[in-house]
Structure formats: C-alpha cells, structure tokens
A and B are shown apart, each in its own frame.
Chain A
Amino acid sequence: MKELVEYMVRSLVDKPEEVRISEVEKEQSVIYEVRVAPEDMGKIIGRQGRIAKAMRTIVKAASVKSGKKAVVEILE
C-alpha cells in the first residue's frame, strides 16, 4: 500500500526525489503520511482537494483487499 501511495504522489510532483511517505500503524488502520516539496503541495492536493480525494478513493479501493483501513494524510 505504501508503494501505491508513493507511486501516485511521485507521478504528480515536480520533485519526486523529495517525496517521503511514512507509515504509522494503528490498531484498526494504517496511516500514510505524505511529505513533498513545499512547491509540490498544490499538485497533490488539487483544486478543492480533488487530487487528494482521488488518491484517497483509490487507496480505499485497494485496501478493500487488504482488510485494514488505509488513511492518507498530507503533511506540511
């Protein structure tokens, strides 16, 4: 799942080398914390959060198979 988040984020930013994803395990869920270069923030959030929402939807679809709830958080 982490690979999926990383893949999507990298495909959208100008500085893929500055993408950092960390995984935080919780009891019922896994949180993926996304960090990108400040100038890339807008690109992964999108107008009215559309891109971020799309990524979350895709992660949610993928997590149906893994069983554990996956949460994507974008950090500054």
Chain B
Amino acid sequence: MKRSVEVSGKTLEEVLERASRYFDVPRERLNYEIVSENKGFLGILVPKVVKVRVWVEEGGVEEEGEEREEKRPSLGATNLFRESPREVPTWQDVSDLHDVIYRFLHGLFERMGVDVRVTIDDDEEAVTCRIEGKDAGVLIGRKGETLEALELLLRTFLGKRGLIGKDLLLDIADYRKRREESLKKLAERIAQKVVKEKKRFKLEPMNARERRIIHTVLKDHPQVVTYSVGTEPSRRVVVELKNAKEGKGVPSEVHREERMKKPTQTTYRRPRRQGGKKKSIDQ
C-alpha cells in the first residue's frame, strides 16, 4: 500500500520540503501530483495556494515513466488522465470530487465550443451539477438526449476512477426540474381522463427516469394503476383503471418488474497499471 498525503502551501518547494520531513525520506524519493493550484488573484485578494498529493513508493525505486505529460500539451486537464486516483483515499474528499467534475466538464465544453457555467453541489444522497449559460439549449438537445449523453459520460468517467459512490445528477438550465413538473401534471391529467372515460391510456415513449416519475405520482392513486410495456427505447407507461378486468391483471407484476429493472452493470475491471506516468521529483 502506498501512503499518501495532501499538502497545501504557498509554493511547490515549500510543500515538498514539508512532505519530505513528514515522510522522513529524502526529497528525491517523493512522488507528487499537483491537485490544484491557485495562482493568486490580483496579488492580494486570494493568496497563492498550491495543493499537492505526495506519496512514497514503498519499493523506493520509481519506475521510469514511459509517457510524460508534455506529450500532449494541448489538453489542459492532463492531470485527469494520469494514474489511478482510486488507490488513494484522500483523493476522494469532497472538494477534490468537485474539482475533478469541474475540470472534466470544463474541458469537454471548451472542446465543444459552448459557453456555459457549471456549478456543483452535493448532499448526502447526490452530487448535482448545474449547467447554465447561453448555449445551455445546445447541451440539452432533442428531448434532453444530449443532457442524458453528458450525464452518462460524466458518470462513466467518475465511475472508472472509483470517484463516486452516490447518485449523480446533471441538470441544464433546470430542464430536468421543468420536465419533472410537466410529467407530474401530465400524470394527474391522464389519471383523470382514464377515470372519466374508463379507458386505458398509453403514454409516449420515455426513458426509465421519466417513467418512474409517472409511476411514483400515481402509485397511491385510488382508481388507477400504472405499468410499462415495450422495450427500450420505446418503452411506454400505460395508465388504466384499477381492477379494470379481473384476471387480465398482470399490471402489478409488470409494475414490479419495471421498478426492478435497474440496469445490471457489466463489470469490466481490469487490474490497474502501476507506475508508468507518475511524476517523480528527479525528473
């Protein structure tokens, strides 16, 4: 196991000096990675801070890195693609997670040529990333498909690095919030219609999250039941009268299946490579 610490200080020199005392090894044996760097703003307002993750390779001899970062200077967020932060627990503290998400999205949007702002929030249950700005519409896409794509990419990116254990939610210009509101209203309206006309009603195809909103809203409705039919991506919610026809009643079964239809993750993990691209002090 590697020991690693995160140290902040005014300069890299100062940080490494302290780390060297902390680990009680000569500075040549320290490996480090700059986690964040605040270059200082207007000299006075914000102090200069550099945050560095430092560790010592137990074996003592650092493997020669076959790939150095100067190979791809065009990509700003080189740090993100460097060796696995997964085996280093300190990486997972909240501010770092925010930092990683922020840099990943920022790098992505920069290359897409869109102009937006990202804010990140989290509570016990979920990390929420909100995106706003003049190009927000481009990032939502038709029926939110670009939004879904971005969320999947971010989730996969973080998942691969073992950085996220809780739910992740991406929202752009409140699209999800607005969509949720309108789905709730739709659900109520359809339920009324079903009761009034005594007919079943099939909604348009929706993704799992949207279907779930409908199911949840009508879960305790006294007169209707909901279930889903069809396969992705054209799976649709059906709303019909409770006890419409006895015996025909698969609904509760289907409904349960729907709820249990959480995607099963294909696990694909290969052992991580060791060494390789770490920066070492004597470079």
Contacts and interface: CB of A to CB of B under 8 A. Distances in A.
Interface of A: 1, 3-4, 6-8, 10-12, 14, 16-17, 39, 42-43, 46-47, 50-51, 53-55, 57-58, 60-62, 64-66
Contacts of B149: 53-55, 57-58
Interface of B: 67, 71, 74-75, 80-81, 104, 107-108, 111-114, 138-139, 141, 145-146, 148-150, 152-153, 156-157, 160, 263, 266, 268, 270, 272-273
Given A42-B268, A51-B156, A58-B153, A3 B146 contact: no
Contact of B157 (A11, A16, A53): A11
B113 A16 contact: no
A39 B114 CA distance: 32
B81 A43 contact: no
A4 B266 contact: no
Looking at chain A's contact residues, is the secondary structure mostly helix, strand, loop, or mixed?
Answer: helix
A62 B112 contact: yes
Nearest to B150: A58
Looking at chain B's contact residues, is the secondary structure mostly helix, strand, loop, or mixed?
Answer: helix
B160 A12 contact: yes
Contact of A54 (B111, B139, B152, B268): B152
A54 B153 contact: yes
Nearest to A47: B266
Question: Most chain-B CB neighbours within 10 Å: which of A1, A58, A61?
Answer: A61
Given A12-B160, A46-B156, A54-B148, A61 B111 contact: no
Contacts of A39: 270
Given A12-B157, A50-B152, A4 B111 contact: yes
Contacts of A12: 153, 156-157, 160
Given A11-B153, A64-B138, 8 more contacts: A4-B108, A10-B75, A47-B266, A51-B152, A55-B153, A57-B146, A58-B153, A62-B111
